[in-house]
């Protein structure tokens, strides 16, 4: 699934999604919403979890997708 940021930019429409995951350290559940403007809202889990989005230099990307770059 492409992030709402990518799909929202391609379609020129606001999009959002809900993501359920877990903490990589303690495995506590974390749920949050992410929209096409990269705004997020925590639904479950720690009040201020560390969320990050990878920065990719697209002109220099040689991999077929950003997933392959990681």
16-22 sheet: strands from edge to edge:
16-22, 29-35, 40-44
- For β-strands 16-22 and 40-44, DSSP reports them as unpaired
Mean pLDDT, the chain cut into blocks of 10 residues (70 residues total): 65 84 86 84 81 70 73
| pTM to 2 decimal places | 0.56
* Torsion angle defined by CA atoms of residues 32, 16, 4 and 54, in that order, rounded to the nearest 10 degrees: -20
CA 7, CA 50: separation in Å to the nearest integer? 24
The domain segmentation of the chain, as residue ranges, is 1-46
- For position 14, what pLDDT does the model report? 83
């Amino acid at each position: 699934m492409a992030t709402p940021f990518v799909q929202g930019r391609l379609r020129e429409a606001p999009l959002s999604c809900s993501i359920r995951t877990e903490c990589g350290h303690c495995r506590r559940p974390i749920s949050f919403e992410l929209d096409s403007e990269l705004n997020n809202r925590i639904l479950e889990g720690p009040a201020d979890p560390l969320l990050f989005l990878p920065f990719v230099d697209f002109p220099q990307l040689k991999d077929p997708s950003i997933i392959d770059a990681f």
